[in-house]
Amino acid sequence: MLNDLQRETLTLPPSPLQEIFDERVTEAGLRLLVKRDDLLAPAPGDPWCGNKWRKLKYNLLHAQEQGFDTLISFGGAHSNHLAALAGAGRWLGFRTVGIVRGEPIASPTLERAEADGMELHFVSRREFSRLLSEELPRAWEVKYPRHYLLPMGGSNSLALSGCAELAGEIINQLGDAPTTVAVSCGTGGTLAGLVLGLRGRSRVLGVAALKGDFLDREVQHLLQAAEAEEHEGWEIINDYHFGGFAKYSPELLDFIRWFQDRHAIQLEPLYTGKLFFGLYDLMAKGYFAPGHTVVAVHTGGLQGLAGFETRFQVKV
Protein backbone atom coordinates (compact mmCIF):
# COMPACT_ATOMS: atom_id res chain seq x y z
CA MET A 1 0.00 0.00 0.00
CA LEU A 2 1.15 3.52 -0.74
CA ASN A 3 1.03 6.07 2.05
CA ASP A 4 -0.34 9.60 1.50
CA LEU A 5 3.02 11.16 0.72
CA GLN A 6 3.78 8.44 -1.83
CA ARG A 7 0.37 8.93 -3.41
CA GLU A 8 1.06 12.66 -3.65
CA THR A 9 4.26 12.05 -5.58
CA LEU A 10 2.15 10.31 -8.23
CA THR A 11 -0.47 13.07 -8.46
CA LEU A 12 1.52 16.27 -8.84
CA PRO A 13 -0.29 19.46 -9.87
CA PRO A 14 0.10 20.50 -13.55
CA SER A 15 3.43 22.11 -14.39
CA PRO A 16 3.19 25.79 -15.46
CA LEU A 17 2.57 26.82 -19.06
CA GLN A 18 4.70 29.93 -19.59
CA GLU A 19 4.55 32.26 -22.57
CA ILE A 20 7.91 33.64 -23.64
CA PHE A 21 8.59 36.84 -25.57
CA ASP A 22 11.63 37.91 -27.57
CA GLU A 23 12.37 39.60 -30.90
CA ARG A 24 12.82 36.33 -32.75
CA VAL A 25 9.39 35.09 -31.71
CA THR A 26 7.85 38.49 -32.50
CA GLU A 27 9.48 38.53 -35.93
CA ALA A 28 7.99 35.14 -36.73
CA GLY A 29 4.56 36.43 -35.68
CA LEU A 30 3.99 33.51 -33.31
CA ARG A 31 2.97 32.83 -29.77
CA LEU A 32 5.52 30.55 -28.13
CA LEU A 33 4.81 28.91 -24.80
CA VAL A 34 6.90 26.53 -22.74
CA LYS A 35 5.28 23.68 -20.84
CA ARG A 36 7.55 23.65 -17.81
CA ASP A 37 7.85 19.94 -17.11
CA ASP A 38 11.38 20.71 -15.94
CA LEU A 39 9.56 21.85 -12.78
CA LEU A 40 7.51 18.65 -12.55
CA ALA A 41 9.05 16.57 -9.74
CA PRO A 42 8.10 15.39 -6.25
CA ALA A 43 10.85 17.70 -4.91
CA PRO A 44 12.98 20.38 -6.62
CA GLY A 45 15.99 18.83 -8.37
CA ASP A 46 14.74 15.26 -7.99
CA PRO A 47 15.85 13.06 -10.91
CA TRP A 48 12.34 11.59 -11.08
CA CYS A 49 11.12 14.56 -13.09
CA GLY A 50 9.97 15.92 -16.42
CA ASN A 51 8.86 13.45 -19.04
CA LYS A 52 10.43 10.66 -16.98
CA TRP A 53 7.98 11.40 -14.19
CA ARG A 54 5.11 11.14 -16.67
CA LYS A 55 6.47 8.00 -18.34
CA LEU A 56 6.91 6.20 -15.04
CA LYS A 57 3.69 7.26 -13.33
CA TYR A 58 1.31 4.54 -14.57
CA ASN A 59 4.07 1.96 -14.70
CA LEU A 60 4.71 2.53 -11.00
CA LEU A 61 1.02 2.32 -10.12
CA HIS A 62 0.74 -0.87 -12.13
CA ALA A 63 3.83 -2.41 -10.50
CA GLN A 64 2.52 -1.47 -7.09
CA GLU A 65 -0.95 -2.90 -7.74
CA GLN A 66 0.53 -6.11 -9.09
CA GLY A 67 2.70 -6.56 -6.02
CA PHE A 68 6.07 -6.23 -7.76
CA ASP A 69 8.82 -5.12 -5.41
CA THR A 70 11.69 -4.60 -7.87
CA LEU A 71 11.95 -2.39 -10.95
CA ILE A 72 14.55 -3.32 -13.56
CA SER A 73 15.49 -1.33 -16.63
CA PHE A 74 18.20 -0.50 -19.13
CA GLY A 75 20.26 2.52 -20.09
CA GLY A 76 23.61 4.11 -20.85
CA ALA A 77 25.91 5.58 -18.21
CA HIS A 78 24.19 8.99 -18.51
CA SER A 79 20.62 7.77 -18.74
CA ASN A 80 17.99 10.19 -17.43
CA HIS A 81 15.63 7.22 -17.39
CA LEU A 82 17.74 5.16 -14.97
CA ALA A 83 18.28 8.20 -12.74
CA ALA A 84 14.52 8.79 -12.68
CA LEU A 85 13.76 5.14 -11.99
CA ALA A 86 16.15 5.14 -9.03
CA GLY A 87 14.52 8.32 -7.69
CA ALA A 88 11.03 6.90 -8.08
CA GLY A 89 12.11 3.69 -6.36
CA ARG A 90 13.37 5.66 -3.40
CA TRP A 91 10.11 7.63 -3.07
CA LEU A 92 7.86 4.62 -3.48
CA GLY A 93 9.84 1.88 -1.77
CA PHE A 94 10.77 -0.28 -4.76
CA ARG A 95 14.13 -1.94 -5.09
CA THR A 96 15.64 -0.74 -8.39
CA VAL A 97 18.12 -2.41 -10.70
CA GLY A 98 19.86 -0.70 -13.62
CA ILE A 99 21.43 -2.65 -16.44
CA VAL A 100 24.08 -0.33 -17.86
CA ARG A 101 25.64 -0.63 -21.30
CA GLY A 102 29.44 -0.70 -21.39
CA GLU A 103 32.34 -0.51 -18.97
CA PRO A 104 31.86 1.27 -15.63
CA ILE A 105 32.81 4.93 -16.04
CA ALA A 106 32.65 7.95 -13.75
CA SER A 107 29.15 9.32 -14.13
CA PRO A 108 27.37 11.75 -11.81
CA THR A 109 24.10 10.25 -13.10
CA LEU A 110 24.99 6.73 -11.95
CA GLU A 111 26.42 8.02 -8.69
CA ARG A 112 23.11 9.69 -7.96
CA ALA A 113 21.20 6.55 -9.01
CA GLU A 114 23.33 4.48 -6.62
CA ALA A 115 22.81 7.02 -3.86
CA ASP A 116 19.09 6.57 -4.49
CA GLY A 117 19.56 2.86 -3.92
CA MET A 118 19.84 1.48 -7.44
CA GLU A 119 21.83 -1.71 -7.97
CA LEU A 120 23.92 -1.39 -11.10
CA HIS A 121 24.99 -4.16 -13.45
CA PHE A 122 27.46 -3.20 -16.15
CA VAL A 123 27.34 -5.41 -19.24
CA SER A 124 29.13 -5.36 -22.60
CA ARG A 125 27.35 -3.82 -25.57
CA ARG A 126 26.69 -7.23 -27.03
CA GLU A 127 25.32 -8.62 -23.78
CA PHE A 128 23.22 -5.49 -23.38
CA SER A 129 21.53 -5.98 -26.78
CA ARG A 130 20.93 -9.60 -25.95
CA LEU A 131 19.31 -8.76 -22.61
CA LEU A 132 17.16 -6.11 -24.29
CA SER A 133 15.72 -8.53 -26.81
CA GLU A 134 15.59 -11.75 -24.80
CA GLU A 135 14.51 -12.80 -21.35
CA LEU A 136 16.61 -12.08 -18.30
CA PRO A 137 19.01 -14.85 -17.30
CA ARG A 138 17.58 -17.53 -15.02
CA ALA A 139 19.81 -16.46 -12.13
CA TRP A 140 18.25 -13.00 -12.21
CA GLU A 141 14.76 -14.43 -12.24
CA VAL A 142 15.72 -16.23 -9.04
CA LYS A 143 17.40 -13.18 -7.50
CA TYR A 144 14.53 -10.81 -8.36
CA PRO A 145 11.46 -13.05 -8.34
CA ARG A 146 8.88 -10.24 -8.26
CA HIS A 147 10.40 -7.80 -10.70
CA TYR A 148 8.79 -5.49 -13.21
CA LEU A 149 10.84 -4.95 -16.34
CA LEU A 150 10.79 -1.60 -18.12
CA PRO A 151 12.15 -1.15 -21.63
CA MET A 152 15.07 1.16 -22.44
CA GLY A 153 13.93 4.77 -21.98
CA GLY A 154 10.78 3.45 -20.29
CA SER A 155 8.67 3.68 -23.47
CA ASN A 156 5.68 1.35 -23.32
CA SER A 157 1.90 1.78 -23.47
CA LEU A 158 1.63 2.86 -19.84
CA ALA A 159 4.31 5.49 -20.47
CA LEU A 160 2.23 6.81 -23.36
CA SER A 161 -0.81 7.11 -21.06
CA GLY A 162 1.24 9.23 -18.67
CA CYS A 163 2.51 11.52 -21.44
CA ALA A 164 -0.99 11.75 -22.95
CA GLU A 165 -1.98 13.76 -19.85
CA LEU A 166 0.14 16.61 -21.20
CA ALA A 167 -2.57 17.19 -23.79
CA GLY A 168 -5.39 17.95 -21.34
CA GLU A 169 -3.15 20.10 -19.16
CA ILE A 170 -1.96 22.20 -22.09
CA ILE A 171 -5.46 22.70 -23.53
CA ASN A 172 -6.86 23.64 -20.10
CA GLN A 173 -4.06 26.08 -19.36
CA LEU A 174 -4.18 27.69 -22.79
CA GLY A 175 -7.96 27.63 -23.06
CA ASP A 176 -7.69 26.06 -26.51
CA ALA A 177 -5.65 23.53 -28.45
CA PRO A 178 -2.41 25.11 -29.75
CA THR A 179 -1.56 24.81 -33.44
CA THR A 180 1.56 22.80 -32.65
CA VAL A 181 3.02 20.99 -29.68
CA ALA A 182 6.76 20.41 -30.04
CA VAL A 183 8.90 17.93 -28.14
CA SER A 184 12.38 16.43 -28.20
CA CYS A 185 12.56 12.74 -29.17
CA GLY A 186 14.82 9.98 -27.91
CA THR A 187 12.76 6.81 -28.22
CA GLY A 188 9.67 8.76 -29.36
CA GLY A 189 7.56 7.61 -26.40
CA THR A 190 6.75 11.12 -25.20
CA LEU A 191 5.78 12.21 -28.70
CA ALA A 192 3.58 9.14 -29.14
CA GLY A 193 1.87 9.94 -25.82
CA LEU A 194 1.18 13.48 -27.00
CA VAL A 195 -0.34 12.17 -30.25
CA LEU A 196 -2.49 9.79 -28.19
CA GLY A 197 -3.68 12.55 -25.86
CA LEU A 198 -4.18 15.31 -28.43
CA ARG A 199 -6.24 13.13 -30.79
CA GLY A 200 -5.57 15.37 -33.76
CA ARG A 201 -6.45 18.65 -32.01
CA SER A 202 -2.86 19.95 -32.42
CA ARG A 203 -0.05 18.95 -34.73
CA VAL A 204 2.82 17.26 -32.91
CA LEU A 205 6.32 18.13 -33.99
CA GLY A 206 9.25 16.02 -32.80
CA VAL A 207 12.87 17.10 -32.95
CA ALA A 208 15.12 14.04 -32.95
CA ALA A 209 17.93 14.15 -30.39
CA LEU A 210 19.79 11.36 -32.15
CA LYS A 211 20.57 10.22 -35.62
CA GLY A 212 18.54 7.44 -37.10
CA ASP A 213 15.46 7.13 -39.19
CA PHE A 214 14.06 4.46 -36.88
CA LEU A 215 11.94 6.99 -35.02
CA ASP A 216 8.99 7.15 -37.44
CA ARG A 217 8.63 3.40 -37.33
CA GLU A 218 9.09 3.28 -33.57
CA VAL A 219 6.37 5.88 -32.98
CA GLN A 220 3.95 3.99 -35.28
CA HIS A 221 4.74 0.86 -33.36
CA LEU A 222 4.13 2.50 -29.97
CA LEU A 223 0.83 4.01 -31.17
CA GLN A 224 -0.35 0.63 -32.42
CA ALA A 225 0.61 -1.10 -29.20
CA ALA A 226 -1.35 1.55 -27.25
CA GLU A 227 -4.32 1.07 -29.59
CA ALA A 228 -4.37 4.78 -30.38
CA GLU A 229 -7.25 5.98 -32.53
CA GLU A 230 -5.19 8.78 -33.99
CA HIS A 231 -2.05 7.92 -35.95
CA GLU A 232 -1.70 11.07 -38.02
CA GLY A 233 -0.81 14.68 -37.42
CA TRP A 234 2.77 14.27 -36.29
CA GLU A 235 6.16 14.73 -37.86
CA ILE A 236 9.73 14.15 -36.74
CA ILE A 237 12.46 16.49 -37.93
CA ASN A 238 15.92 14.98 -38.16
CA ASP A 239 17.88 18.18 -38.87
CA TYR A 240 18.90 19.14 -35.35
CA HIS A 241 20.68 16.15 -33.81
CA PHE A 242 24.13 17.77 -34.30
CA GLY A 243 25.62 14.49 -35.47
CA GLY A 244 23.95 12.14 -33.02
CA PHE A 245 23.09 11.52 -29.39
CA ALA A 246 25.17 13.66 -27.01
CA LYS A 247 26.88 15.31 -29.99
CA TYR A 248 26.90 19.09 -29.90
CA SER A 249 28.55 22.18 -31.32
CA PRO A 250 29.70 25.50 -29.81
CA GLU A 251 26.71 27.06 -31.60
CA LEU A 252 24.32 24.83 -29.65
CA LEU A 253 25.95 25.72 -26.33
CA ASP A 254 25.86 29.43 -27.26
CA PHE A 255 22.17 29.13 -28.00
CA ILE A 256 21.52 27.45 -24.64
CA ARG A 257 23.39 30.26 -22.86
CA TRP A 258 21.48 32.91 -24.83
CA PHE A 259 18.17 31.27 -23.96
CA GLN A 260 19.07 31.06 -20.27
CA ASP A 261 20.13 34.75 -20.27
CA ARG A 262 17.07 35.86 -22.10
CA HIS A 263 14.35 33.75 -20.52
CA ALA A 264 15.88 32.43 -17.29
CA ILE A 265 15.02 28.92 -18.41
CA GLN A 266 17.82 26.38 -18.29
CA LEU A 267 18.10 23.91 -21.18
CA GLU A 268 20.54 21.02 -21.57
CA PRO A 269 22.44 20.01 -24.72
CA LEU A 270 21.09 16.44 -25.12
CA TYR A 271 17.38 17.03 -25.66
CA THR A 272 15.80 20.36 -24.81
CA GLY A 273 18.67 22.48 -26.19
CA LYS A 274 18.29 20.76 -29.55
CA LEU A 275 14.51 21.17 -29.45
CA PHE A 276 14.61 24.93 -28.85
CA PHE A 277 17.55 25.44 -31.23
CA GLY A 278 15.50 23.66 -33.88
CA LEU A 279 12.34 25.64 -33.12
CA TYR A 280 14.15 28.98 -33.35
CA ASP A 281 15.78 27.93 -36.61
CA LEU A 282 12.45 26.76 -38.05
CA MET A 283 10.83 30.04 -36.93
CA ALA A 284 13.50 32.04 -38.74
CA LYS A 285 12.94 29.97 -41.88
CA GLY A 286 9.20 30.66 -41.87
CA TYR A 287 8.25 27.08 -41.06
CA PHE A 288 5.36 28.24 -38.83
CA ALA A 289 2.63 30.44 -40.26
CA PRO A 290 2.18 33.81 -38.50
CA GLY A 291 -0.56 33.69 -35.93
CA HIS A 292 0.21 30.12 -34.92
CA THR A 293 0.57 29.10 -31.31
CA VAL A 294 3.41 26.74 -30.54
CA VAL A 295 3.76 24.98 -27.20
CA ALA A 296 7.24 23.52 -26.63
CA VAL A 297 7.48 20.87 -23.94
CA HIS A 298 10.49 21.34 -21.66
CA THR A 299 10.94 17.65 -20.84
CA GLY A 300 13.45 18.33 -18.03
CA GLY A 301 16.68 16.34 -18.10
CA LEU A 302 18.62 18.92 -16.12
CA GLN A 303 20.02 16.19 -13.86
CA GLY A 304 22.18 15.23 -16.85
CA LEU A 305 23.94 18.60 -17.08
CA ALA A 306 26.65 17.73 -14.54
CA GLY A 307 27.45 14.53 -16.42
CA PHE A 308 27.64 16.36 -19.71
CA GLU A 309 29.99 18.98 -18.31
CA THR A 310 32.26 16.37 -16.75
CA ARG A 311 32.31 14.23 -19.86
CA PHE A 312 33.10 16.99 -22.33
CA GLN A 313 34.93 19.40 -20.02
CA VAL A 314 32.69 22.29 -20.96
CA LYS A 315 30.53 24.67 -18.98
CA VAL A 316 26.99 25.03 -20.31
Ligand X SMILES: *Cc1c(COP(=O)(O)O)cnc(C)c1O
- Which residues form the interface with ligand X (CB under 6 A)? 50-52, 80-81, 153, 155, 184-190, 271-272, 299-301
As measured in angstroms, the least distance from the Cβ of 52 to ligand X is 6
Nearer to ligand X, 157 or 272 (CB): 272
As measured in angstroms, the least distance from the Cβ of 235 to ligand X is 14
Nearer to ligand X, 28 or 152 (CB): 152
Nearer to ligand X, 28 or 204 (CB): 204
For residues 297 and 217, give the distance between their C-alpha atoms in angstroms, rounded to a whole number.
22
Nearer to ligand X, 91 or 144 (CB): 91
Beta-bridged to residue 315, according to DSSP, are: none
- Say how many C-beta atoms besides its own lie within 10 A of residue 252's C-beta: 19
DSSP 48-95: S-HHHHHHHHHHHHHHHHTT--EEEEEE-TT-HHHHHHHHHHHHHT-E
As measured in angstroms, the least distance from the Cβ of 45 to ligand X is 14
Number of helices (H), then strands (E), belonging to the chain: the values are: 13, 10
For residues 237 and 210, give the distance between their C-alpha atoms in angstroms, rounded to a whole number.
11
Query: Sign of torsion, CA 146 152 155 157?
Result: negative
Nearer to ligand X, 140 or 245 (CB): 245
As measured in angstroms, the least distance from the Cβ of 286 to ligand X is 26
Residue with smallest beta-carbon separation from ligand X: 301
As measured in angstroms, the least distance from the Cβ of 251 to ligand X is 20
Name the phi and psi angles at 20, rounded to 5.
Answer: -120, 145
